[in-house]
A and B are shown apart, each in its own frame.
Chain A
Amino acid sequence: NAGVTQTPKFQVLKTGQSMTLQCAQDMNHEYMSWYRQDPGMGLRLIHYSVGAGITDQGEVPNGYNVSRSTTEDFPLRLLSAAPSQTSVYFCASSYSGAKTEAFFGQGTRLTVV
C-alpha cells in the first residue's frame, strides 16, 4: 500500500519558471490538501479539495494553482516561481475531511533561485 506519493522529492527552479508538483494517493480518500512548511512557521494550507472537481483556497494560495480531475491525483502548479516559494511542500489525504486522521506524503523540497 503506497499511501500518499509525492514527486519529485527535490527540485531547483529558476525565478519565473513553472512546474507541477505531483501528488497521488491509493486509499480512495475524498479529501486532499497541500501545505507548505517553512522554518519556524509550521504548516500552512495552500489549497484543498473535498472531492473530484472541487477545490478551494487555503491560507496562502497566491502563486499556486490546483485541479482535481480524479480522486487519486491532486497536482499543485507553480505558475511563475519566485524565491519566496522556496519551501518544503506536503500533500495530505484523509477519508472524511478533517474528522479523521490525515496521511502525508514525504514532501517535495523546492528551491527557487
Chain B
Amino acid sequence: SQQGEEDPQALSIQEGENATMNCSYKTSINNLQWYRQNSGRGLVHLILIRSNEREKHSGRLRVTLDTSKKSSSLLITASRAADTASYFCATVSISGNTPLVFGKGTRLSVIA
C-alpha cells in the first residue's frame, strides 16, 4: 500500500513563482526522498532527508520534514518552464531495510 500522499495532485503556476508540494505519510520513517519524473522518462532523485533532519536545501529546492505531523514539503523557488514534471515523495521505513514506497505524485506545470 502507498505510504506517501502528495498534495496537490496537480499544480499550475507562472514562471518565476514558487511551487510548494506536500507529502503526508503514515508510519515512522528512516528517511524521505523526493524524485522528479519528466514525461515519458524515468525518475530522478532530488533530495533525501533523514528522520533527524528538519530542512535541506539543494539549489532552488528546499525540503522540510516534520516527523511529529508525518509530513514533508518540497519548495521550488523561482520556477522555470523546465521544472514542469511530476514530483514524487518516497518513504523508507524506520528499519531502513525496506524498499522505497512512493506516493501518487504531484503534476507541476510551469507556464512561461
Contacts and interface: CB of A to CB of B under 8 A. Distances in A.
Interface residues of B, number: 26
A90 interface: yes
Interface in B15-67: 30-31, 33, 35, 40-45, 48
A37 B88 CA distance: 12
Contact of B99 (A42, A48, A107): A48
Interface string B71-112: 000000000000000001010100011111111110000000
Nearest to B91: A98
A107 B43 CA distance: 9
Contact of B45 (A33, A42, A101): A101
B48 A101 contact: yes
B48 A106 contact: no
A109 to B, nearest CB: 9
A84 interface: no
A43 B30 contact: no
Given A42-B2, A48-B99, A100 B88 contact: no
What size tier do the contact residues of chain A reach? Answer: 20 to 34
A97 B99 CA distance: 7
A75 B97 CA distance: 21
Interface in A31-84: 31, 33, 35, 40-45, 48, 50, 58-59
Contacts of A110: none
Interface of B: 1-2, 30-31, 33, 35, 40-45, 48, 88, 90, 92, 96-105
